[in-house]
A and B are shown apart, each in its own frame.
Chain A
Amino acid sequence: MNILAPASSFESVRIMIEAGADEIYIGADEGIYNVYSFTGRGKISPANKHVLCDFGEIKTIVEYAHEKNVQVNFLGNTPFFHDGKWHEKEFEKQYLEYIEKSVQVGVDSVVIGDIGLLNAVSKQNYNVALHASLYFKTLNRSQVEFLKSFGVKRVTLPYHITMNEICELCSRDDMEFEVVGYLGCSFFNGACSFLHAYGEGVLEGFAPGVSCKNVYEISDEGVYSEGKIFDCEAACSLCSLKKLDENKVTALKIVGRDRDHRGTAEVIKLYKQVLDSQGSIKEIIPDWWKRLYCKNLTSCKYLDSNENYKYLIGVI
């Protein structure tokens, strides 16, 4: 199982590969937006970090990564797209040019997050693998078939999926599967309209924050109570890595393009170490990690012991 790392620059790629990443994912600045992008995220993180580079840098990254035998997955996974125009030119043509440029600099795959764009890209016969992003919310084998009909080579599975479901889906040999190994969301990506800011900061007195982490008052037939009713992010999959690997998961995605890449590199080192270990992993996991995740009964990805899993729909 490959470790798939987030990257935002040549420097971050170098650090991720040194940390043990087998694949990286990265997007480019398309030259249209100031803050939004074709990658489903803004160009600037909340910490004011640029998360995209230009195609010249992408070319350098691809050459370096390939020297190190590391795969480069290119992000074109905006989940929102409709027919519009930019400088008198069809917006879809602008998007296809963005993908074409990535193919020209030699990326190994493009990640797509919108069904119309997948339909359009699949008809171009680019010499590049197509990956279906987690925005597709793929939970069943028929959807895998559906995506395969567009020439998709890899499907990213959603955050909230069980080990049994992963094992069933991965039992087929004609599709690669990617699962998220670190951090996540509370809602389905691709079905959530509580959008985060794209780097605008405070917007006319309004800061949406992270809606699924907020405290809400809920009314139950006139009885009011307060709580973080939506927060169900599971962050860590260390205890599941071996099983994911045994069940032929192709890649384990570490999210965090917008995070400090040195911190993410430490996460990758830890995941790599656990994946390569032979015996018990308890000695490998540092105390700070145990304090952060191991005492919380809702932090574990893909383990039935996660207290939230009994509320997942469609697992019984």
Chain B
Amino acid sequence: MQEEYIITNSDDILEKHQSIAVGNEGCVYYLLGAQVENILNQCVIQKKKVRIITPFIPNDYLERVFLMITHWSEVIPNLKVTFNDWGLIYACKDLIEQEKIVPVLGRILTRSMIDCPWYDKLLLSENQEARDATFGYNLYHDSKLNLLNEFHIQEVELNYHPEYVKEWLAIKQSIKITCHPNNLISVGRLCFAARYKKSTFPECYNEKLCLRKYPLSLKAKGFNMSDGSFSEESKKHFLDMYLQGNVVYKEIFDEMPAADILIRGGD
């Protein structure tokens, strides 16, 4: 298994890290900011292998992100780009065709029902055949894999679910699988961390709010519930969750030997 290190500060690029990941899955402001630019400049100087992780792309930012990717594709050989927006992939199709970038499908686009922390509690009224036909990796679907092939996508980022590793291995026959030490649970357009800290762009960027991890725990039901409390069984499903910017993650502590690539924190 290969390892990459996600870097948020150019001073952290150490000799031992040969493969660097930058960017994030949630915020286009962060992607286009000076911190990422500085890291990428250092990567060019130090001849690192690079992956840029891109988030969803609002319309006004499409051109700027496209130009950013084009620029770095010219100075970083075999630049990997993780896409979390179909529109951005489509905008970059010439770069992909010309092999200027190596496209990777990100976790926002590979979401599956099994990513729900309590998926095993869903569909309990269904018979086993219907459950088996429904639970699994969304990418375990020829129609999607054929489409990825059309876009020359040979690597995907997936949440880790050891109980579905058999499907994972089947997907791996066509493409490489990359994991993170967390599962991506949910993404908002609104930055919940910025709202919590009452900080708007560009102050939120300067304060590096989108890089901070805010551990979460479930306290009470807030909607339409006669009894506002949660059972211990319910709370268990929210363990190890944290907010980072506009994204909710759940820490994963398992080893993932079946993954081709693991993106670790760069500390």
Q: Chain A residues in contact with chain B, CB under 8 A?
A: 32-36, 79-87, 91-92, 114-117, 119-120, 136-147, 149, 158-161, 165, 168-169, 186-188, 190-195, 197-200, 203-211, 213-220, 226-232, 308, 310-316
Contacts and interface: CB of A to CB of B under 8 A. Distances in A.
Contact of A316 (B167, B201, B216, B222): B201
Nearest to A34: B125
Contacts of A316: 29, 201-202
A34 B190 contact: no
B237 to A, nearest CB: 7
B188 A188 contact: yes
B246 interface: yes
A110 to B, nearest CB: 16
Contacts of B202: 316
Contacts of B173: none
A312 B190 contact: yes
Contacts of A215: 218-222
Contact of A219 (B130, B132, B186, B215): B215
B188 to A, nearest CB: 5
Contacts, number: 283
Contacts of A119: 143-144, 146-147
Nearest to B232: A205
Contacts of A203: 118, 121-122, 124
Given A36-B130, A165-B59, A195 B116 contact: yes
Interface of B: 26-29, 55-62, 85-91, 108-109, 111-113, 115-119, 121-127, 129-130, 132-134, 136-144, 146-147, 167, 184-192, 194-197, 200-202, 212, 214-225, 230-231, 233-234, 237, 243, 246, 248
B27, B121, B136, B184, most chain A CB atoms within 10 A: B121
A217 B238 CA distance: 11
A139 B57 contact: yes
Contacts of B191: 311-313
A186 B185 contact: no
B187 A314 contact: no
Task: Give me the 5 closest cross-chain CB pairs, A-B, nearest first.
Answer: A143-B87, A314-B58, A84-B133, A213-B223, A160-B189
Q: Could you tell me the dominant secondary structure of chain A's interface residues?
A: loop
A194 B218 CA distance: 13
B29, B143, B184, B220, most chain A CB atoms within 10 A: B143
Contact of A190 (B87, B111, B194): B111
Contacts of A220: 196-197, 212, 214
Given A119-B146, A165-B58, A82 B137 contact: yes
Given A187-B186, A311-B190, A311-B191, 16 more contacts: A85-B129, A137-B85, A140-B87, A141-B62, A142-B91, A143-B87, A145-B87, A146-B86, A158-B189, A165-B60, A188-B187, A206-B118, A215-B221, A216-B219, A228-B222, A314-B61
A230 B141 contact: no
B141, B189, B221, B222, most chain A CB atoms within 10 A: B189
Contacts of B221: 209, 213-215
B186 A193 contact: yes
A194 B88 CA distance: 26
Contacts of B195: 229, 232, 308, 311
A190 B138 CA distance: 12
A229 B217 CA distance: 11
A81 B118 contact: no
Contact of A217 (B57, B144, B216): B216
Contact of A311 (B200, B215, B218): B200
B262 to A, nearest CB: 21
Contacts of B115: 193
B231 A205 contact: yes
A210 B224 contact: yes
A205 B138 contact: no
A205 B113 CA distance: 21
